[in-house]
């Protein structure tokens, strides 16, 4: 018996290292390698970029549905062309203007003037910076934000602007105006140093597009028949609310990439949890904006208004974009619902000011962009209401003034608006030589 006990003790002592090794093997790793984090964040940018690119289809469908049938093809062409222009201009100059690194031309204010270059083919992990993501994925993702900013301008100026002068403006908007103002925050510029917060672009993308659209609408003037001699607003129905609704849902879907991708990292459990939180808050704000607009139009007009509900959803999305991570779901609901209410009150206010905004982009993107930027300080302890207002005003003043000067120059040199006869006949015929599509109701 004594020998058996001695044998058992010896066997147990021999097995302890093996058991310890087995326990270590079963324990989960504390984290992933830098190369894996690099791969996951690069993957996030590519997938999020796909979603944000899909928003281009949403803008195209929304605008096609809200213009009259005689202008549908023109509106679709503008959306395709501006996306192509954005891709080229952002590659040629915009990306490095926006993200100059240590190569600022004027520190904190004006980035670098150089073309975008990618990593070599088949680059090894030892030959690239593994602390972030691939240059190609970052460029692709950021390009989609640039194109979105320009898409906002397109809808406001629909049905009376010439094609080529508009596209000329898009070159400057995507190559210079947007990259410069966005560099002030996202490129590490002077507003970033002040503590201005804009997670995914309520001001940098949406309000900037809204300010450019506002300046263009002022220079261009309203459509024929929008306001009568007494100043009364004459409603001009769109051609296809089915397309407008489809466009809204496409934008809603694409917004998950817009906000979720702006987490800018997917290498830890915390990053992934934050991305899922951003998705949930983004969805809640859109839903609350739509429902708030529906209830308010029912109370104010005795009937729910579909176009207001569509813009209410978009208003909720714009409102949450400046800070989609910090709020609780209830706070996201409040932020989005206020956005929906803002749209219902400001769409007619813009009309009373005799500013003709065909799709309601100025209330949705500019005014709700301000609301979303301002309310960041409610949920984000790193933000202050004063800094948020100052940053919005600074970016708004820059974009509005530069855009206004550019619109006036284009008008003086090339002309900006089609003739009265061409506008009455429709831009599809005047600019593209096409008849209105027969499947759409005549307008």
Return the residue matching tokens 């599809």: 428
Angle at 138 between CA 187 and CA 265, to 5 degrees: 85
Predicted TM-score of the model (pTM): 0.91
Output helix, strand, coil percentages for the chain, rounded to the nearest 5.
70, 0, 30
Alpha-carbon distance of 202 to 234, in angstroms, equals 31
Write down the pLDDT at residue 231: 78
pLDDT-flagged residues of the chain (< 70)? 1-30, 436-443
What radius of gyration do the chain's Cα atoms show? 26
pLDDT of residue 392: 98
Distance CA 172, CA 396 (A): 16
How many Å is the maximal CA-CA distance in the chain? 115
| Dihedral sign computed on CA atoms, order 79, 83, 89, 95 | positive
pLDDT value of residue 297: 98
pLDDT at 436: 55
Q: What per-residue confidence (pLDDT) applies to 110?
A: 98
Domains of the chain: 34-111+130-432 (1.10.3430.10)
pLDDT at 13: 39
């Amino acid at each position: 018996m004594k020998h058996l006990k001695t044998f058992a003790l010896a066997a147990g002592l021999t097995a302890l290292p093996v058991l310890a090794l087995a326990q270590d093997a079963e324990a989960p790793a504390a984290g992933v390698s830098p190369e894996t984090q690099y791969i996951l964040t690069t993957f996030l940018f590519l997938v999020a970029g796909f979603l944000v690119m899909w928003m281009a289809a949403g803008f195209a469908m929304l605008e096609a549905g809200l213009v009259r049938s005689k202008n549908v093809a023109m509106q679709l062409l503008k959306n395709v062309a501006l996306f192509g222009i954005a891709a080229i201009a952002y590659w040629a100059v915009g990306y490095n203007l926006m993200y100059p690194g240590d190569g600022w031309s004027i520190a904190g204010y004006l980035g670098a003037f150089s073309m975008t270059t990618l990593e070599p083919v088949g680059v090894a992990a030892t030959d690239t910076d593994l602390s972030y993501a691939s240059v190609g994925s970052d460029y692709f993702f950021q390009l989609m934000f640039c194109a979105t900013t320009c898409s906002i301008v397109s809808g406001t100026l629909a049905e009376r602007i010439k094609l080529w002068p508009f596209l000329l403006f898009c070159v400057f908007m995507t190559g210079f105006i947007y990259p410069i103002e966005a560099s002030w925050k996202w490129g590490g510029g002077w507003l970033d140093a002040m503590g201005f917060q804009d997670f995914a672009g309520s001001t940098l993308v949406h309000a900037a597009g809204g300010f450019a659209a506002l300046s263009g609408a002022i220079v261009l003037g309203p459509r024929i028949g929008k306001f009568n001699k007494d100043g009364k607003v004459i409603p001009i129905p769109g051609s296809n609310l089915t397309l407008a609704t489809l466009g809204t849902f496409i934008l809603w879907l694409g917004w998950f990439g817009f906000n979720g991708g702006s987490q800018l990292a997917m290498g830890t459990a915390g990053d992934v949890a934050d991305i899922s939180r951003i998705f949930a808050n983004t969805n809640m704000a859109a839903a609350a904006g739509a429902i708030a607009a529906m209830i308010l139009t029912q109370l104010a007009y005795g009937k729910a208004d579909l176009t207001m509900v569509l813009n209410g959803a978009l208003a909720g999305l714009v409102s949450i974009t400046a800070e989609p991570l910090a709020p609780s779901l209830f706070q996201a609901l409040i932020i989005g619902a206020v956005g929906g209410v803002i749209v219902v009150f400001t769409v007619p206010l813009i009309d009373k000011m005799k500013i003709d905004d065909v799709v309601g982009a100025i209330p949705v993107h500019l005014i709700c962009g301000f609301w979303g930027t301002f309310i960041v300080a409610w949920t984000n302890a790193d933000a202050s209401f004063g800094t948020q207002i100052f940053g919005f005003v600074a970016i708004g003043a820059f974009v509005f003034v530069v855009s206004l000067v550019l619109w006036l120059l284009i008008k003086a040199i090339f002309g900006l608006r089609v003739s009265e006869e061409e506008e009455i006949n429709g831009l599809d015929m005047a600019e593209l030589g096409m008849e209105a599509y027969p499947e759409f109701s005549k307008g």
